Structure 1
Amino acid sequence: MRIPRFVKSAFTATVAAGGMMVFAATPAQASTNITVHVKQCPLDYCATAGYGWFNADPIGEVPGDALKACDLASDGYSIKAWLTNRDTGRVIRTASTAGHTANYCTPWQTGDLPEQTRVWLEVCKMSGTTKVACHYGSEGWA
């Protein structure tokens, strides 16, 4: 059975591309900051009730691998942020504004993380220990 020329060309291109993939180096993932806002209501035009912020690398007075939560609304709720290891699902650290009045940001919660750690940030408006409204951020890297 004779193989058509276009099939041979497609096969050759596939093998060549696959070979290049084997020898290509994987680029290092750059550190990524994450900021996640929780709104005062579920509508797009609602103001921010607060936010969580993961800062990957030190910048001046701001430490690296650090998390903070900020409450911006005088609504009786607190803001809590969870930084989770994306690969293991383990919570790395939390920050909560519970017990403080609005317009309050927590101190930075810090601790060194291995480079290239994939992290995920969840931020919730809280009533005591109950999650009232949450927003899940995007993936970041330490």
Structure 2
Amino acid sequence: MARLRTRLAACAIALATAAGTLVVGSSPAHAAANFSFHYYPSPNGYNIWINNDDRGLPAGSGRWLQDPDGPYPGDALVADDQLADGYGIEAHLSTGRIATTRGHSAPYTHYKTGNLPEGNKYYMYVCVVKGDYSNCSNSVAVYA
């Protein structure tokens, strides 16, 4: 009788394990890439560079430009996607302004501009995005 209970218990465990494997195995999860954020103040704003650590390559950046800089007018929020890895870049400003490369193939740059009151302090952060996935940097203070 003890042998029968042991066999039944073993069968129950095997069935539970097999059922769990079938449910879990039916839709395998894909691990997201590893990204790191690097912070650099600049003379007229701030840069947050993103590295795709799995590939060892720069993925892109988010930038704040308080004054005109090259082709960008002042008070510009810039999202720059440099790596064709399937992820997009979003730059966010505490005003609600967002520059995004979501839905575009890399390399791609998008910027949002609009004059803000001079000297005011805002906060910027940058995210790597793909579908529902979002991995964001810490926020940094920026000024208009």
TM-score category of the 2 structures, normalised to the smaller one: 0.5 to 0.7
- Structure 1 unaligned spans of 5+: 1-30, 85-90
- Measure, in 2, the Cα distance between the counterparts of 1:120 and 1:72: 23
Q: Does 1:70 align with 2:80?
A: yes
- Measure, in 1, the Cα distance between the counterparts of 2:96 and 2:119: 14
Deviation at 1:53, TM superposition (A): 0.9
When residues 127 and 61 of structure 1 are mapped into structure 2, their CA distance, relative to the original with a 3 A threshold, is: closer
Q: Does 1:134 align with 2:104?
A: no
Instruction: Let me know the Cα RMSD of the aligned residues.
Output: 2.1
Residue 36 of structure 2 is matched in structure 1 by: none
Percent same amino acid at aligned positions? 35
Helix, strand or coil at the partner of 2:128: strand
Aligned match for 1:98, one of 99, 102, 121: 102
Matched positions, count: 102
Residue 111 of structure 1 is matched in structure 2 by: 114
Runs of 4+ in 1 over 6 A off after TM superposition: none
- Measure, in 1, the Cα distance between the counterparts of 2:119 and 2:96: 14
User: TM-score, with normalisation over the residues of structure 2?
Assistant: 0.63
Aligned match for 1:33, one of 6, 21, 45: 45
- Measure, in 1, the Cα distance between the counterparts of 2:136 and 2:105: 20
1:79-117 Cα shifts (integer Å, max 9, x gaps)? 111011xxxxxx3300110111111111x3111100111
Deviation at 1:138, TM superposition (A): 2.7
- Measure, in 1, the Cα distance between the counterparts of 2:52 and 2:115: 33
User: TM-score, with normalisation over the residues of structure 1?
Assistant: 0.64
- Structure 2 unaligned spans of 5+: 1-42
Amino acid at match of 2:83: A
